[in-house]
Amino acid sequence: MRIIAGTHRGRRIAAPRGEQTRPTGDRVREALFNLVGPVDDASVLDLFAGSGALGLEALSRGARRCVFAETDAAACRVIRQNLESLGFTGALVLQRDAVSVLREERSGGRRHDLVLLDPPYGRWGSLEPLLAALLPNVVAAAGIVVVETDAQVEPSLPLDLVTTRRYGSARLTLFAP
């Protein structure tokens, strides 16, 4: 895998081994950031971070900070290694589940300009109600929420639907407050 654009364009990034994570491919990541637009000085929340590819891409494109939330210890180590090798500062890697991180961000009154959600494809149905209850309280007024799901799934959140697009077996859905 590699960084698509920004200050670290073309740099390789590591991904965790095994089947626990499904890194977002280059083509889908490029499409995602084309849909989102500039992320200069943005605060990013990368939930279900996996390899961290989405948050790393945001940092390369000028995001000010990124909070990565991932439960897998090996994946968290890889994200930290990628951050170190790329020299990124302003990042925090939390080895915790996305719902508990959202609750903590909400209780702390923190809002993010870009919230990235790439849960395991088979879990969206069970996660959707929990995420729907918490997300509106952590996205900034002019922020964007991006959900990556299986192409057959059409996510629904209590936010305004901006667009939804299919890319092979993946679907990107963007929401805004």
Domain boundaries, the chain: 26-176
- As a CATH number, domain 26-176 is 3.40.50.150
pTM exceeding the 0.85 threshold for the entire prediction: yes
Q: What are phi and psi of 114, to 5 degrees?
A: -140, 120
Ordered alpha helix ranges (H), the chain: 26-36, 53-60, 73-86, 98-107, 124-134
Question: What is the rounded CA–CA span in Å between residue 158 and residue 21?
Answer: 27
Tens-binned pLDDT, residue by residue, of the chain (177 aa) = 888 888 888 888 888 765 555 566 778 889 999 999 999 999 999 999 998 999 999 999 999 999 999 999 999 999 999 999 999 988 999 999 999 999 999 999 999 999 999 998 889 999 999 999 999 999 999 999 999 999 999 999 999 999 999 999 999 999 999
H or E stretch at 144:
strand 139-150
